[in-house]
Amino acid sequence: MCSIRQPILALAAYCLLLIACCSLPTALRLIAAGSRYAVLEVKPHVFVWVPEDIIEQDGDLRSSRAGNAGFILSADGVVVVNATNTPFHARELLYEIRRRTDQSVKYVIDTSSEPDEMLGNEVFVDQQATILSTPATQAEIRSYRQDLIRDERGDLKLQARMRGIHPTVPNQTFDHETTMRVGDQEIRLLALPGAGSRGDAAVLLPSAKVLFLGDLYENGYFPQIGSRDLRGWIEMLRTVESWDVQIYVPGHGDPSGKKGVVEFRQFLEWLMAEVRTRIQEGKTLEQVKSELLPFAYHWHAPELGPRAVEAVYRQLAPPQKTLCRSKASPGLPHKNLIKKPPTLSSRAFTAVRLPITGSNSTSRAYAESKRLTRRVTA
């Protein structure tokens, strides 16, 4: 009997192991998904969703790292600040909200048009939330959506990365400073058109002394400078450092106090000064990159370093001018750096239209031109 039971028990154990193995990948994915981000309660009822530094295989390749998101709870609803870089992460954010409240998500605020902050908008449209941004950000997201349709044509890799992602344009806008109250939470929406780009905004909670800055502040990450004006960006950071704020929420990295913002601003100042000095020495972009890279800062997203140097170099380098040389003095630059087309007087010449008909039209035209020449020189 024992000899019969042992094979049966072994077979049963094997079947259980097989079932467990089949279920294991799902279990591991759930655990991995849960461990790829942290949710920090920076003040009572104010939370920040902070993802790990992972390069995503989905979404826009230019914003392959998920950005931070925030949510504010109140008795009258939830306010979300930025929806991160894919609807898949936005659903993780919604899951964390649902763990804490049954209140509906009333508003989502996009602090910019960067894909790592807004590509999760569609999840909250399904929740019937109002999506808010500055008018410039709204226009930029609409343009981004149109450009994406064009770029996806024939690009199978981009189509695969963006499958299931639908860029969603904000349906309401705000200008300058707008104050809204949701339950007991006062929320100020601050348009910052001089902060480096036209559409940037920040979200301030005056009573909690929390400021969401989006990608205008990166804590321990190299920034995506792009076309942002560096001087205006630095001045904006100096301004917010003086505000009565205790917690600054960055676009990437952990929330911090003023010290983190100061360090980030000093990095931008250092980068601008180093690039400017080398431009004044007449060095090319490649020479500047070879001298500055890799940066001495041990931050995340090091692949953004070369792009940062390129962006600053383009802003600071003088525009290229084309020199025209005079025929009389070939070794010296022409008096006018850009040669203007000559201005022709209406009396300088007279156009004569010659009738051309018949088989002998060419000879008649030639004879007529000779006649006109003799008359002019007579």
- C-alpha 271/C-alpha 277 separation (Å) is 10
Q: Which residue type sits at 374?
A: R
**Nearest alpha carbon to residue 123 among 91, 95, 92:** 91
Who's near 267: CB < 8 A, 6+ residues apart?
297
Distances (CA, A) of 81 to 112, 212, 244, 279, 320: 11, 8, 20, 39, 42
Q: What percent of the chain has pLDDT over 70?
A: 75
Torsion-angle region of residue 232: left (phi > 0), alpha (psi -120 to 50) or beta?
Answer: alpha
Who's near 297: CB < 8 A, 6+ residues apart?
222, 267
3-class state of residue 358 by DSSP: coil
Task: Look up residue 188 and give its DSSP letter.
Answer: E
Whether the CB-CB separation of 110 and 117 falls below 8 Å is answered with yes
Who's near 30: CB < 8 A, 6+ residues apart?
none
* Domains of the chain from N-terminus onward: 28-257 (3.60.15.10)
- C-alpha 215/C-alpha 219 separation (Å) is 10
pLDDT tens for 111-124 read 999 999 999 999 99
- In tens digits, the chain (378 residues) has pLDDT values of 445 455 555 555 544 444 444 433 333 333 334 459 999 999 999 999 999 999 888 888 777 899 999 999 999 999 999 999 999 999 999 999 999 999 999 999 999 999 999 999 999 998 899 999 999 999 999 999 999 888 888 888 888 888 889 999 999 999 999 999 999 999 999 999 877 778 899 999 999 999 999 999 999 999 999 889 999 999 999 999 999 999 999 999 999 999 999 999 999 999 999 999 999 999 999 999 999 999 999 999 999 999 999 999 999 998 876 545 444 444 444 434 333 333 333 333 333 333 333 444 444 443 444 443 344 334
Who's near 296: CB < 8 A, 6+ residues apart?
none
Cα 259 to chain centroid distance, Å, stands at 25
Distances (CA, A) of 240 to 70, 196, 221, 233, 292: 19, 14, 19, 11, 29
**Nearest alpha carbon to residue 325 among 337, 313, 317, 333:** 333
The pTM is what? 0.75
